[in-house]
Structure 1
Amino acid sequence: MTDAQYLDLAESALAAIERCCDQINENTDADIDNQRVGGMITLTFANRSQVVVNLQPPLHEIWLAARTGGYHFRHDGQHWVDTKSGDELFGRLSQECSLQAGQPLSFTAG
Structure 2
Amino acid sequence: MTDPEFMDHAERLLLAVERSCDRISETSDADLDSQRSGGMVTITFPNRSQIVINLQKPLHEVWMASQSGGYHYRFDGTHWQDTKGAGEFFACLSREASRQAGVPLEFSAQA
TM-score by length of 2: 0.98
Unaligned segments of structure 1, at least 5 residues: none
Query: 2:10: which partner in 1?
Result: 10
SS of 2:98's equivalent?
helix
State the secondary structure of the residue aligned to 2:106: coil
> For residue 51 of structure 2, what is the aligned residue in structure 1?
51
> CA offsets, 1:24-66, max 9 Å, x none?
0000111001000000000000000000001000000000000
Partner residue in 2 for 1:28: 28
Q: Does 1:71 align with 2:71?
A: yes
Partner of 1:39: 39
Q: Output the aligned Cα RMSD.
A: 0.6
Q: Which runs of 4+ in 1 moved over 6 A?
A: none
2:91 matched residue in structure 1: 91
3-state SS of paired residue (1:34) = strand
Query: How big is the shift at 1:86?
Result: 4.4
Among the aligned pairs, what percent are the same residue?
59
- Compare 83-92 and 73-82 and name the one that shifted more: 83-92
1:52 is paired with a residue whose SS is: strand
Whole-angstrom CA distance in 1 between matches of 2:101 and 2:17:
16
* Deviation readout 1:58-83 (Å, 9 max, x if unpaired): 00000000011000000001000000
Take 2:105 and 2:46, find their aligned partners in 1: how far apart are those partners? 14
Q: Which amino acid aligns with 2:18?
A: E
- Give the whole-Å Cα distance in 1 for the aligned partners of 2:42 and 2:16: 14
- Partner Cα separation in structure 2 for residue 103 and residue 66 of structure 1: 16
Amino acid corresponding to residue 18 of structure 1 in structure 2? E
Structure 2 unaligned residues grouped into runs of 5+: none
SS at match of 2:14: helix
Equivalent pairs, count = 110
TM-score, length basis structure 1: 0.99
